[in-house]
Amino acid sequence: MNKNEIGTDQLITHIIKGIEEVKGQDINILDLREIENTVCSYFVICNGTSNTQVNAIVNSVQKTVSKSLKDKPWHVEGSENAEWVLMDYVDVVVHVFQKHIREFYDIEGLWGDAKTTVIETNY
């Protein structure tokens, strides 16, 4: 593993931790490294039950990553209506959805060639 991969792995670990802190649901990691012409290496996808929870997940991820790694997203989009918030950490893009919006856009289906890791949660 090179230094960059270690940093990316740590980033994903802290993103997942931030999601779990506020009980984000259906967490998946999509590994896009084997797919040509992608904008990043990984997607982390999860959903909340309401716009309030979606915003709580986004805030928790930002706080956890910032505290542990002194890193902040390059760009955050969608916080206004909190149906689908995208957090761009350059190598890792986090998608936080409300459940019905996630089902509608079906990102996992669009990126079907990606290797998917499902994160088991105990809540």
CATH number of the domain enclosing 114:
3.30.460.10
Structure confidence at residue 3 as a pLDDT band (50, 70, 90) = low
DSSP collapsed to 3 states, 24-71: CEEEEEEECCCCCCCCCCEEEEEEECCHHHHHHHHHHHHHHHHHHHCC
pLDDT of residue 122: 87
How many other C-beta atoms are found inside a 10 Å radius of the C-beta of residue 72?
A: 11
pTM given for the model: 0.95
**Over the stretch 84-96, which tens digit does the pLDDT of each residue have?**
999 999 999 999 9
Domain span at 21: 3-119
**Over the stretch 59-117, which tens digit does the pLDDT of each residue have?**
999 999 999 999 999 999 999 999 999 999 999 999 999 999 999 999 999 999 999 99
Number of domains in the chain: 1
